[in-house]
Chain A
Amino acid sequence: MSEKMVLMQGNEAVAEGAIAAGVRFYAGYPITPSSEIAETMARRMPQVGGTFIQMEDEIASIMAIVGASMAGKKVLTATSGPGFSLMQEGLGYACMVEAPIVILDSMRYGPSTGMATKVSQMDLMQARWGTHGDHWVIVLSPSSVEESYQLTIRAVNLAEKYRNPVIVLSDETISHLREPIDISIPPTIVDRKLPTEKAGYAPYKTDESLVPAIATVGTGFRTTFTGLVHGESGFQTANGHVAEALVERLRDKLFNNLDDIIQFETDRVEDADVLFMSFGITARGVSEAVESLLSHGRKAGSLRFITLFPFDDDRVRKAAGSARTVVVPELNSGQLVLLIKRVFGDSRKVVPLNKINGDLISPQEILNFVQEENL
């Protein structure tokens, strides 16, 4: 390992990744297991000329980062389940006004206040569908400290590029895990597109990218933002055609770029007859179980979702090879497996493996499951 390796906690890596990506505004309300992100940002923001605000709650936190984002800052907030619930209204607003924001949700055991110090993957569907109405978010899933750093950078870049909220869906274990990482390589930085001409400027007018070049508040352009349906001018309308075009555009600005947004990690998928599909921390138990199965002559493989949403059935089908059996281990009662069943219908045997006691699924438990279920 190189001399540059430093021992870092998952939450610290998120904070340092955000700073490396250019985040200079953090507003949040501490909550286990995300609190070290707020703690780190409180210390680091003043050092890099940024702003840290501890808000009165999570509703205010997300609205503060939306405001700061529209004023030109790259922004982050971090929370966990109960706080993420409070942020849902603001998340929908951010989708509608097209605010580049990054939210980190470190999943703890739910529902409600649940178990604050225990891990789960129970917020998967909340990340996708927590706020009301048809809306589209990007959801990224780190499975290590290193990836917490890298995916936070990527989240900031994707938020800027598509003017869209991006959620980094971490969990208690990764948040508090410490691993050596190398943060010495400067990242690629993406900045949002800004308008240059005041003449004819309309905040929500777009080119073929479908991503508007909205002016930064306070730069002399007229700025109008609303969660109500709006046309190119940014002003509210109840015109059904405008509404339809807006919601379609919010979808298509992401779905026209799935090659750029969607990432999987695959391991020996090609000749696998039993394939594990997982995300986040669970994938690390899978990885060791796959090694063990291979060493016992089983044809096992793994597909890990790095991007969870947008979720594209065709891409998943193509990446999944031809395994007869697909096992979906997750720390909830069965959320990812719903999507996987949708992808494969009756063409494959899709088997859920769920654990909901606040502990991880160990490699041995996966091996036992494979044996018990005769997979």
Chain B
Amino acid sequence: MGNDNRFELRMTGSGGQGLILASIILAEAAIMEGKIVTQSQVYGAEARGGTTKAELVVSDRHIAYPKVTDPDLLAALTNEGLKQYGGGISRKTRVVIDSSVMSAPDFLDEENCRGLLSLPIRSTLISKLQSELGLNVVLLGIIEGLTAIVSVETLRKAVSMHVKKQFLDLNMKALDLGMEMVEAQVKTGIRI
């Protein structure tokens, strides 16, 4: 509420994609850099497959209300997720969607959000890294590319804390892939 150094992130998608883990990784990275965080989630009773929402608030000072109320960034990896948790965005909100599984929603335009970034996240992951795993880490790379909320090195460290050794290389590549996707987008001159 009028606090400029408060950053609010909402990610939504399908249970099993690792969005809650992604929010935890980013939370830990922010803590390493001396920030205050609150991380929360909403999920159904299913172990996977249900619509999920993961939220993270990062601030330089005490966070009273721990939930996201006015997101700086909304990332949606499924249509269902965007439908269910896409409300509450404002002109400060950047919206990222995975265009390989969904089309740009008609309720978003230049008037009601800061920018819409449609990236083929899942299909790029599969074609570049021959993997269906790591979607959440690609998204972390995209978030990092867009916001630089923590240093890349800190983020790498936080990712590595949650990844088994044999998957470390894949995850670092996934992180790079996300950042490269943003970089490529910037070069096209499209407003993001």
- Footprint of B on A, CB under 8 Å? 1, 5-7, 32, 116-117, 173, 176-180, 281, 284-285, 287-288, 291-292, 295, 360, 362-364
Contact = CB atoms under 8 A, between A and B. Distances in A.
Contacts of B43: 117
A117 B42 contact: yes
B1 A7 contact: no
17 contacts: A1-B34, A1-B36, A7-B27, A7-B39, A117-B43, A117-B45, A173-B40, A176-B41, A178-B27, A179-B39, A179-B66, A180-B36, A281-B66, A285-B64, A287-B64, A292-B1, A362-B69
A335 B96 CA distance: 42
B66 A180 contact: no
A330 to B, nearest CB: 16
Contact of A179 (B1, B34, B37, B44): B37
A287 B65 contact: yes
Chain B's interface: helix, strand, loop or mixed, by majority?
Answer: loop
B181 interface: no
B42 A7 contact: no
Given A117-B45, A178-B24, A7 B67 contact: no
Contacts, number: 68
A178 B40 contact: yes
A4 to B, nearest CB: 11
A7 B28 contact: yes
A288 B34 contact: no
B38 A179 contact: yes
A15 B66 CA distance: 21
B31 interface: yes
Given A173-B40, A177-B38, A285 B45 contact: no
6 tightest A-B contacts by CB? A287-B64, A178-B39, A288-B64, A288-B65, A180-B31, A285-B65
A117 B47 CA distance: 12
Interface in B29-59: 31, 34-45
Contacts of B45: 32, 116-117
A295 B66 contact: no
Contact of A362 (B37, B40, B65): B65
Nearest to B56: A178
Contacts of B87: none
A7 B65 contact: no
B124 to A, nearest CB: 30
B46 to A, nearest CB: 10
Given A291-B1, A363-B1, A284 B65 contact: yes
B24 A7 contact: yes
A364 B69 contact: yes
A173 B66 contact: yes
Interface centre among A178, A288, A291, by most B CB within 10 Å? A178
A185 B150 CA distance: 28
A363 B65 CA distance: 7
A218 to B, nearest CB: 43
A35 B65 CA distance: 24
A288 B69 CA distance: 12
Contacts of A178: 24, 27, 37-40
Contacts of B1: 288, 291-292, 363
B47 to A, nearest CB: 12
Interface string B1-34: 1100000000000000000000010011001001
Contacts of A288: 1, 64-65
Contacts of A363: 1, 64-65, 69
A116 B42 CA distance: 11
Contact of B39 (A116, A177, A284, A360): A177
Contacts of B64: 284-285, 287-288, 291, 363
A177 B42 CA distance: 10
A295 B2 contact: yes
A138 to B, nearest CB: 26
Interface string B89-126: 00000000000000000000000000000000000000
Nearest to B45: A116
B160 to A, nearest CB: 15
Contacts of A287: 64-65
Contacts of B67: 173, 360, 362
B10 to A, nearest CB: 14
B31 A1 contact: yes
A77 to B, nearest CB: 23
A117 B69 contact: no
A117 B39 CA distance: 16
A221 B186 CA distance: 78
